[in-house]
Structure 1
Amino acid sequence: MSVPQPPDPIPGARLLFSLDPAVSHLNHGSFGAVPIGVQRAQQRLRDETEANPLRFFTLGLTDRLAHTRRHLATFLGADPDGTALVPNATTGVAVVLQSFGLRPGDEVLTTDHGYGAVDLSIARECRRTGAVTRALRVPLSATDEEVVQIVRSGLRPGRTRLLVVDQLTSPTARLLPVAAVVAVAREHGVPVLVDAAHAPGMLPGTVAGVGADFWVGNLHKWAYAPRGTAVLVVAEPWRQRIEPLVVSWEQESGFPGHVEWQATTDYTAWLAAPVGLFTLRSLGLDRVRAHNAALAAYGQRVLGDALGVPPTELPDPGGPGVAMRIVPLPPGVATDLEAARALRARIAARLATEVSVAGWAGRGWLRVCGQVYNTADEYERLAARLPALLAER
């Protein structure tokens, strides 16, 4: 099986970012990278704030937030009236969980591909309410049809009160058939919360097309927004039940305003987010998506070859356009959270390369991403040096 060819670089794209050129940044999926033009737009908003704080916070800020909300919701194919700006997807999940009204004996159903902080949030809410949580095991090689069947078999009508599922999983970079999962859950009367942290900017399709009761997504990863920019989208029947984590002066306005308004928080990231979308569109949305997915696939293959992983054993993300890929590490390497963090830090310090490392299903996995500022030789250099570093253990 031939090695896939890396895509041609997008001219000038690397110059849009202020990333340290001495480091290979192959982990865009964790914290993103903010283009210089977006940084400057946010700084202008900060300057405006500091020039007259009272005017900034009291004259028209809620209207500016509403305008931003409409802009971002339109890009995502979501209803602006059902979309709230939040700092990140994890915050959106917490808002839903604490508004949902879980009771003793209720069950929150998840999969074993969930994001760690979301799992912790679910566990805390279950402890607080007396509910329980259960994770479905989904094999990494499961087809979309098998995923849907696993969910169908795992639902417990009358007990399962909420299903939480990732659109694109963080530890395993797997695209799940969320629209089909939502349809199955709806047949059984179970509401669904979709954690789409990586979807905005990377994946095609719309929020409306997923059809979930709740959908959360970050724009500070693949949509070039400043960090701290995400949305919570709530279906109309649930909006009256949503409560903010902190009550402030927009409480009486209801959703989405009372979730967004958090007094003296820094709103400049949200207000600058449309500039990130402008940057993405200027580069060409489809062009960026195709480039990033092809580059991630190339990086996975060269790293797999370096570690002796046959191409047939490299996990397929399950759909086109996915700009994150994982590679299995040797047995016994980075199989738990502490060891994974330690290895990530060693790779950063010794190889000047930022990656993600996670332990999942008793195996360590290295995750790399593709982004317009990356080049093929960055993955090749990591592949050339990583085996020796792993052999040192």
Structure 2
Amino acid sequence: MKKTNFKPTPSEFEKFWMLDADITFLNHGSFGACPLPVLEAQQRLRQQMEREPLRFFVREYEALLDAARSELAEFIGADASELVFVPNATTGVNAVLRSLKFSKDDELLTTDQEYNACRNVLDFVAAETGARVVVAKVPFPIESPDRIIEAVMEKVRSQTRLVLLDHITSQTGLIFPIQSIVQKLTELGIDTLIDGAHAPGMLALNLHQIGATYYTGNCHKWLCAPKGAAFLYVRRDRQSQIRPMTISHGANSPRTDRSLFQLEFDWMGTDDPTAYLCVPAAIKFMGSLLEGGWPELMARNRALALAARQTLCKALGVSPPCPDETIAAMAVVPLPDAVPHTGKAPLIPLLQDALFKKFGIEVPVVPWPTAPKQLLRISAQIYNTPAQYEYLALAIGQLIEG
């Protein structure tokens, strides 16, 4: 099959990333991509660390970490005393679920769109404690975010002890109406753990307004910090219950100038903490790219994702599977049933593999709800352009014809 001659127009912002110029990268959502100025800031911190490791870790590190935490807290609408850094959101979910005590009388509620890694943690904890996992089925395609609220609340019972929810789902890109759900659950005395892996930098966050008991989010995705930077928010009245997965010096620290919660999480053994320390650099750099700062950046990415979805839906002859209000910078498009799938996980779906090998397009194809039904998931970051999604539509058309 011949490769289409259409060439996507480069973005003026591509120069700030190391992305391969031969690849049309439409998958920011999976692992993010860190811009060069932020990587340079990380390298400077690593040089500072390696020039005098003892001075760095003993005399400088804590102040640097506190400064990074304070800037992140302001960005996400929280207090610095409620935050700790973790390597990724999955680690944050593990820390909460594996710290809490459950019994065979407890029910742990989640949805059928929960991220697989975090659902595995829930299943693991349930098997260890005898608690029961209850799954609310969120319809997709979906006509209104109210259906998400209804699906969750219909499964709540007197035995419901904790509810684990994605803020933005990985498979379908849906924004859950988290604040409304959390408010309803809080009124019933039920704690909430929100997996906000995609939310920081994609949505304007105010964790105090959301009101969740626990919230964890990645900084390496839409915030564009280096890999290995995420946070865990724990409401103050629950902090004494949450312990890190690695117990270290903080467990018996005599210090009284900060909480045991931060003492334990802030030092879990020697590691490279520079990804955490670069979060302020990422917030500053990404917020400087457009005159309107972060609000304009988030609005631009959302508009690009919606326009791209429309382009692809038209090309494939399918309807958008959810309303615009449930979409931010990621969107999915149902693929026609005629598009083949390998059907054997964890092999890459045939279309995804062909798009990469024949057209140099990096974009995920998601089995939904199971193969052979599939979704094409696109991401929109400032380095992307409308022409890249037109190129994707042309490439899929050629592959289907072939």
Common fold: TM-score over 0.5: yes
Aligned to 2:4: none
Query: Which structure 2 residues correspond to residues 289-368 of structure 1 after superposition, within 5 A?
Result: 289-309=298-318, 312-319=319-326, 322-331=328-337, 333-334=340-341, 337-338=345-346, 341=349, 343-362=351-370, 363-368=373-378
Cα shift readout 1:285-335 (whole Å, capped 9, x = no counterpart): 1221121111111221222222221xx444335346x01010111227447
**Corresponding residue number in structure 2 for 1:6:** none
Q: What is the match of residue 256 of structure 2?
A: none
Q: Which amino acid aligns with 2:131?
A: A
Q: Secondary structure at the match of 2:184?
A: helix
- 1-structure distance, mates of 2:58, 2:11: 43
One-letter amino acid matched to 1:177: P
Corresponding residue for residue 269 of structure 1: 275
SS of 1:85's partner is strand
2:145 aligned partner: 144
Superposition deviation, residue 377 in structure 1 = 1.4
How far off its partner does 1:63 sit? Answer: 2.4
Q: CA, structure 1 residues 142+308, in 2 after alignment: closer, same or farther (shift >3 Å)? A: closer
Q: Amino acid of the residue matched to residue 294 of structure 1?
A: A
Q: Secondary structure, in 3 states, of the residue corresponding to 1:372? A: coil
Shift of 1:260: 2.8
Residues 177-216 of structure 1: pairs in structure 2 closer than 5 A? 177-216=177-216
Asked if the contact 1:48–1:56 (Cα under 8 Å) also holds between the matched residues in 2, the reply is yes
Map 1:87-236; keep pairs closer than 5 Å.
87-140=87-140, 141-157=142-158, 159-236=159-236
What secondary structure is seen at the aligned counterpart in 1 of 2:154?
Answer: helix
Q: Per the alignment, do residues 75 and 10 of structure 1 end up closer, same or farther by CA in structure 2, a change over 3 Å counting?
A: farther
CA apart distance, 1:132: 2.0
Aligned residues: CA RMSD = 2.0
Partner SS for 2:194: strand
Task: Rate the CA distance shift 1:50–1:380 in 2: closer, same or farther, 3 A.
Answer: same
Q: Normalising by structure 2, what TM-score?
A: 0.89
Deviation at residue 391 of structure 1 after TM alignment: 5.4
- 1:8-40, Cα deviation, whole Å (9 max, x unpaired): x99842221111111011011111111110000
> Partners in 2 of 1:179 and 1:277 — Cα distance?
24
How has the CA–CA distance of structure 1 residues 260 and 336 changed in structure 2, closer, same or farther, with 3 Å as cutoff?
Answer: farther
2:270 and 2:97 mapped to 1: Cα distance? 25
8 Å contact kept, 2:355–2:395: no
Are the structure 2 counterparts of residues 11 and 307 from structure 1 closer, same or farther at C-alpha, using a change threshold of 3 Å?
Answer: closer
Query: Which amino acid in the other structure matches residue 144 of structure 2?
Result: T
Change (3 A) 1:301 1:280: same
Q: In structure 2, how many angstroms separate the alpha carbons of the residues matched to 1:11 and 1:71?
A: 29
The answer to whether the Cα contact below 8 Å between 1:95 and 1:244 also exists between their aligned partners in 2 is yes
The change in CA–CA distance for 1:180 and 1:51 in structure 2 (over 3 A counts) is same
Q: Sort the Cα spacing of 1:250 and 1:390 in 2 relative to 1 into closer, same or farther, 3 A.
A: farther
The answer for the alignment partner of 2:5 in structure 1 is: none
Q: Which amino acid aligns with 2:381?
A: Q
User: 1:236/1:318 Cα in 2 relative to 1: closer, same or farther (>3 Å)?
Assistant: same
* Higher deviation after alignment, 228-237 or 54-63: 54-63
Q: Deviations along 1:143-175, whole A, 9 cap, x unmatched? A: 232322222221011x21110111111101111
User: Residue type matched to 2:202 in 1?
Assistant: M
Aligned 8 A contact 2:220 2:226 in 1: yes
Shift of 1:104: 2.4
* Structure 1 stretches lacking a partner, 5+ long: 1-8
Please list the CA deviations of residues 342-392 of structure 1 after superposition, one character each: whole Å capped at 9, or x if unmatched: 543332222211112212223211100111111111111111011332455
Mapped partners of 1:360, 1:318: distance in 2: 21
SS at match of 2:399: helix
Q: How many residues are treated as equivalent by the alignment?
A: 380
SS in 2 for 1:233: strand
Higher deviation after alignment, 327-336 or 232-241: 327-336
Q: Give the 3 Å change call, closer, same or farther, for CA 10–286 of structure 1 in structure 2.
A: farther
Alignment of 1:9-88 (within 5 A): 12-88=12-88
- Contact 2:306-2:324 at 8 Å conserved across structures: no
In the alignment, does 2:297 pair up with 1:288?
A: yes
CA distance in 2 between partners of 1:46 and 1:302 (Å): 43
User: Are 1:384 and 2:401 counterparts?
Assistant: no
Match of 1:242 in 2: 242
Q: Aligned partner of 1:302: which letter?
A: T
Percent identity of paired positions between Structure 1 and Structure 2: 36
Change in Cα spacing, 1:48 to 1:277, as seen in structure 2 (3 Å) is: same
Unpaired stretches in structure 2, ≥5 consecutive residues: 1-8, 254-258
Contact kept? 1:199, 1:222, Cα under 8 Å: yes
Scaled by the length of structure 1, what TM-score is found?
0.91
For residues 55 and 160 of structure 1, do their structure 2 counterparts lie closer, same or farther at Cα, with a shift above 3 Å needed? same
Pick closer, same or farther for the CA change 1:314–1:144 going to 2, 3 Å: closer
